[in-house]
Amino acid sequence: MLHMSVSSRILSLAVIPGDGIGQEVVAQGLKVLTAALPQDVKLETKEYDFGARRYHATGETLTDADLEQLKQHDAILLGAIGDPSVPSGVLERGFLLKLRFAFDHHVNLRPSKLLPGVETPLAGQPEIDFVVVREGTEGPYTGNGGTIRKGTEHEVATEVSVNTAFGVERVVRDAFARAQARPRKKLALIHKNNVLTFAGHLWTNVFNRVAAEYPEVTTEYMHVDAATIYLVTQPERFDVIVTDNLFGDIITDLAAAVSGGIGVAASGNINPSGEFPSMFEPVHGSAPDIAGQGKADPTATVLSVALLLRHLGHDAEAGRIEDAVSADLADRAGRPARTTDEIGDALAVRVAG
Ligand SMILES: NC(=O)C1=CN([C@@H]2O[C@H](COP(=O)(O)OP(=O)(O)OC[C@H]3O[C@@H](n4cnc5c(N)ncnc54)[C@H](O)[C@@H]3O)[C@@H](O)[C@H]2O)C=CC1
Ligand SMILES: CC(C)CC(=O)C(=O)O
Ligand SMILES: [Mg+2]
Catalytic option among 31, 48, 98, 141: 141
3-state secondary structure the chain: CCCCCCCCCEEEEEEEEECCHHHHHHHHHHHHHHHHCCCCCEEEEEECCCCHHHHHHHCCCCCHHHHHHHCCCCEEEEEECCCCCCCCCHHHHHHHHHHHHHCCCCEEEEEEECCCCCCCCCCCCCCCEEEEEEECCCEHHHCCEEEECCCCCCCEEEECCECCHHHHHHHHHHHHHHHHHCCCCEEEEEECCCCCHHHHHHHHHHHHHHHCCCCCCEEEEEEHHHHHHHHHHCHHHCCEEEECHHHHHHHHHHHHHHCCCHHHCEEEEECCCCCCCEEEEECCCCCCCCCCCCCCCCHHHHHHHHHHHHHCCCHHHHHHHHHHHHHHHHCCCCCCCCCHHHHHHHHHHHHHC
> Residue 8: what pLDDT?
58
- Residue 91 near residue 60 (C-beta atoms within 8 A): no
Q: Whole-model pTM?
A: 0.97
Residue nearest to atom 9 of ligand 2 (CA): 249
Closest ligand 1 atom to residue 84 Cα is: 39
Could you tell me if the CB of 97 is within 6 A of ligand 2? yes
C-alpha 154/C-alpha 189 separation (Å) is 37
Report CA(249)–ligand 2 centroid distance (Å). 6
Beta bridge partners, 76, equal: 14, 279
Q: What is the pLDDT of residue 333?
A: 84
Can you tell me which atom of ligand 2 is nearest the CA of 253?
A: 9
Distance CA 314, CA 188 (A): 29
Q: What is the pLDDT of residues 146-164, one digit of tens each?
A: 999 999 999 999 999 999 9
CB contact set of 319 (below 8 Å; sequence gap of 6+): 306
With a 6 Å cutoff on the Cβ, whether 249 touches ligand 2 is yes
List of domains in the chain: 1-115+262-353 (3.40.718.10), 120-259 (3.40.718.10)
Q: If the chain, 353 residues long, is cut into consecutive pieces of 10 residues, what is the mean pLDDT of each piece?
A: 58 98 98 95 97 98 98 98 98 98 98 94 94 98 97 98 98 99 98 98 98 98 98 98 98 98 98 98 98 98 98 97 97 93 98 94
214 is catalytic: no
pLDDT digits (tens, 9 = 90+) for 100-119: 999 999 999 999 999 988 98
pLDDT given for residue 334 in this prediction: 85
Q: Say which ligand is closest to the CA of 135.
A: 2
Who's near 272: CB < 8 A, 6+ residues apart? 106, 107, 174
Is 331 noted as a catalytic residue in this protein?
no
Distances from the Cα of 319 to the Cα of 240, 263, 323, angstroms: 20, 19, 6
